Amino acid sequence: MVSGTNDSKNTPPIVSLAAGGVAGGIEAFTSYPFEFAKTRVQLRSEKGIPTPKNPFKVVTQVYQSEGLRALYKGCGALVVGSIAKDGVRFLFFDQIKIAFADPQTGTLSPLRNLAAGMTAGVVASITAVTPTERIKTALIDDARNERRFRSGLHATQVIYREHGISGLYRGFAGTTLKQASATAFRMGTYNILKDFETKRDIPQTTVTNFANGSVAGTVTTLCTQPFDVIKTRSQSAHGASTIEAIKSILADYGFFRGFWKGTTMRLGRTVFSGGILFTSYEAAVKVIQPLYSGLTHTVGAQETA
């Protein structure tokens, strides 16, 4: 389990998957306005129309000019993707942690924590994140211009018809780099903090979990923002290759302003969402694991009888 180095051995894979999915769905829905604003800022703006840096101003402007429906366009894709992404991410992280643990002590060093998170991030990107992020970003981009996508399903059908499977995996390199590094820093930082607290008998409460998750979110944002900007540019409505995305970012804003575009907005989301994600995960495990244990015990008793 992500909550403790030794606990992962006692958390069945199905519990990690289910709890991660629940946590991912809750985190994506509650923090979506920040994600929407961040994505809008990272996409290429129309000439002569500057994009505000304040996320609340972005959300207010979109609501006033385009309505509530436009503001939440892409939310469904993000929630579905987050359920799959975080279910897979927590499942593989919990299992990979066991493989990466020191054979003598059963614990993970900070570097092994990061390596386990990076491996889980790559798996999550391949299995769930890239196509759902592509649809979410395309929907947000489309809502401000052409508005030809009626829904996430419709966007998926149009992109697949026009570009094939490669269209749904547009931005794969940037997304995978982002997911590998983000999962490494987020999961790794959270576990390093938790292991540090456990050794000093600091109680693991909801407040502690939220604080650890928020710190992990801050570290993740600052270290991985360039990959997030590249991913967003690659996954616009018409799409772009990773090289084209990098060139357009440099041409529009330069290195630092370009590759850390939307940092404030993403920071607002990840600090909040990091706390929500890990707190929800810990709570979900506490509910799901006893139910799973009871079910398996009942089935085992029936088979024995």
Tally of domains in the chain = 1
Q: In Å, what is the CA distance from 54 to each residue of 18, 57, 90, 298?
A: 35, 5, 32, 54
> Residue 8 gets which letter from DSSP?
G
Q: For residue 31, tell me if it sits in a domain.
A: yes
Domain that holds residue 49: 7-304
Residue 85, domain CATH: 1.50.40.10
Q: Which of residues 287 and 228 earns the better pLDDT score?
A: 287
Q: What local confidence, expressed as pLDDT, does residue 5 receive?
A: 37
- Domain for residue 162, yes or no? yes
Q: How does residue 287 score in pLDDT terms, banded at 50, 70 and 90?
A: very high
Q: Which residue has the higher pLDDT, 246 or 53?
A: 246
> In this structure, what token pair is assigned to residue 31?
């923090």
Task: Indicate whether 211 belongs to any domain.
Answer: yes
CA nearest 79: which of 30, 139, 138? 30
What is the enclosing helix (H) or strand (E) of 121? helix 110-124
pLDDT exceeds 50 at position 122: yes
Query: Average pLDDT, stretch 88-92?
Result: 85
> Would residue 53 count as lying in a domain?
yes
The proportion of the chain whose per-residue pLDDT surpasses 70, expressed as a percent, equals 90
Give 67 or 305, the one with higher predicted confidence: 67
| Domain membership flag for residue 266 | yes
1 occurs within a structural domain: no
Model confidence over 3-33: pLDDT tens digits?
A: 443 454 567 889 999 999 999 999 888 888 7
Q: Is it the case that residue 177 has pLDDT exceeding 90?
A: no
On average, the pLDDT of the chain sits at 82
Within a domain: residue 169? yes
The whole-model pTM stands at 0.67
Share of the chain above pLDDT 90, in %: 12
CA 32 from chain centre, in angstroms, equals: 11
Structural domain includes residue 72: yes
Q: How confident is the model at residue 299, as a pLDDT? A: 74
